[in-house]
Amino acid sequence: MRRRRPRSRSSAPAPDGAAYVCFAAQDWWYHNRAHSDFQLMRSVARDRTVLVVNSIGMRMPRPGVSTHVTRRLTRKLGSVARLVRRPLPDLPGFHVVSPLPLPFYGSPRARRVGARVVRAQVRATMWWLGIREPVVVVTVPTAWEVVRPMRRRSLVFNRSDRHSAFPEADTATIEAMEADLLRSADHVLYVSRSLMREESPAAGARGHFLDHGVDVGHFRRRPREEWPADVRDLPGPRVGFYGALDDFVVDFDLLERLAAELPEVSLVLVGDANHPMDRFDRYPNVHWLGRRPYESIPAYGSAFDVAVMPWQDNEWITHANPIKLKEYLALGLPVVSTDFAELAGYRDRVRVASTPEEFVEAVRRTLADDGPSTPELRRASVLGCSWDSRAATLVERAEAARPG
């Protein structure tokens, strides 16, 4: 198939010619596009040329442990086949590429060879787009081997999560890459204050807190007639969750307890799952609707009477800052959540539970009184948190000199 060349090499570049290459932690074509690196780069692309490099992977498949390996491989090959595209007609400066990675794990030599292969593909795409000395933004640590020798204006480590705590990751290898990035980055951006404090000896003055944003225009309450039929037709009240139903993040035991103790409630789960969902087959009030496109998520969320965040208590969540919290609030929804560090500034708007018993009781209570605050105040509390404002801060940091 003949590769189609973009009509222009760059679109509305900054006056100084700055361009951005972002090594994302997800795949634009198959993952939720609400992730922070995608949202930030979309905003940056309003007046910069941006190339998003889809995730080059971080998991080391292990027999008996890894799940959905074939599906992940098939999706990756499908993503690679899309070559270089401009997926957003209103943002002609926003480009996405999916390089074909070689096995990235194993010996250091194998990693270096794999990095060269990916780097060659990225460099070819950069040349094609007229990108010569970009700001390089790294979210996924495995990209360090790729970007290390690349010519760049600056290097930004987007420290969105502690990736070494990711299941199936080669912990020692990922920790070493994270450490290299912390030492080498000109700027380190954190969404977790606890992780920023923990790594302050390494990051020093290069570390900055950059909270997640929210697409306040997209996440607005929809009237009932705009709700999708598969959720509109469910009996109320509806307690809901949307997002990835990952077994290393979501507390499925807690969800099952919620279903068992509140049989009069429809528990609505919207999202892809890597956990056996047949455990809920015996609960007629549990409705797993599967993955839905990002564009329809606000309409699903609008049908919830209470939104929940049932997280596990583990290292990943300790250093997490879930984007969906601000999305729920932008929809005006009352929220019940298990506790985690970044909730500290939201306790006036969110009911927080420390035990399963407290969680069930908090949901029951919120169904009765609509939770703390009001829908209008909940939404108003996040109106100043747009992704455009977050991206402006990122650009300001990324294009500034490295702190001494």
Residue 154's DSSP bridge partners are 135
pLDDT of residue 170: 76
Write 341-347 long-range contacts (CB < 8 A, 24+). Answer: 341/192, 341/193, 341/194, 342/191, 342/192, 342/193, 342/194
Judge whether 366 lies within some domain.
Answer: yes
**108 shares a domain with 57:** yes
Measured distance CA(110)–CA(101) in Å, rounded: 12
Q: How far is CA 334 from CA 140, 255, 306, in A?
A: 33, 17, 5
Q: What is the CATH number of the domain that holds 311?
A: 3.40.50.2000
pLDDT of residue 238: 99
**Which pair of tokens denotes residue 280?**
């809920």
Task: Give the closest residue to 30 by CA, choosing from 55, 8, 6, 11.
Answer: 55
**178 shares a domain with 252:** no
**246 shares a domain with 196:** no
**Which pair of tokens denotes residue 49?**
């040329």
> Number of folded domains in the chain?
2
Measured distance CA(329)–CA(212) in Å, rounded: 13
Judge whether 346 lies within some domain.
Answer: yes
In the Cβ-directed half-sphere of 136, how many Cα atoms lie within 13 Å? 26
**Which pair of tokens denotes residue 372?**
């703390």
DSSP 147-195: HTT---SEEEEEE-S-GGGSTTB-HHHHHHHHHHHHHH-SEEEES-HHH
**159 shares a domain with 50:** yes
Tokens 């999560």 belong to residue: 161
Measured distance CA(102)–CA(2) in Å, rounded: 23
**256 shares a domain with 196:** no
Judge whether 240 lies within some domain.
Answer: yes
**122 shares a domain with 37:** yes
SS3 394: helix
Backbone angles phi, psi at 351, to 5 degrees: -85, 125
Judge whether 5 lies within some domain.
Answer: no
Judge whether 180 lies within some domain.
Answer: yes
Q: Write out the residue range of the structural domain in which residue 99 sits.
A: 19-213+386-398
**201 shares a domain with 234:** no
Judge whether 403 lies within some domain.
Answer: no
Pairing of strands 84-85, 94-97: antiparallel
**390 shares a domain with 376:** no
pLDDT of residue 32: 63
Judge whether 203 lies within some domain.
Answer: yes
Tokens 């780097």 belong to residue: 119
pLDDT of residue 71: 53
Q: Is-cis flag, bond preceding 237, omega within 30?
A: yes
pLDDT of residue 114: 84
Judge whether 140 lies within some domain.
Answer: yes
pLDDT of residue 7: 37
**168 shares a domain with 78:** yes
Task: Give the closest residue to 55 by CA, choosing from 9, 101, 105.
Answer: 101
**357 shares a domain with 239:** yes
DSSP 229-296: HHHHTSPSSEEEEES-B-TTTB-HHHHHHHHHH-TTSEEEEES-BSS-GGGGTT-TTEEEEE---GGG
**390 shares a domain with 374:** no
Measured distance CA(146)–CA(115) in Å, rounded: 5
**390 shares a domain with 372:** no
**pLDDT by 10s per residue, the chain, length 404:** 333 333 333 334 443 458 999 999 888 866 567 789 999 999 999 999 999 999 887 655 554 444 454 554 554 444 444 556 676 888 999 999 988 766 555 677 777 888 898 999 999 999 999 999 999 999 999 999 999 999 999 999 999 887 777 666 678 888 999 999 999 999 999 999 999 999 999 999 999 999 999 999 999 999 999 999 999 999 999 999 999 999 889 999 999 999 999 999 999 999 999 899 999 999 999 999 999 999 999 999 999 999 999 999 998 898 889 999 999 999 999 999 999 999 999 999 999 999 999 999 999 999 999 999 999 999 999 999 999 999 999 999 999 999 87
**Which pair of tokens denotes residue 113?**
């060879």
Measured distance CA(178)–CA(145) in Å, rounded: 11
Could you tell me the pTM of the whole model? Answer: 0.88
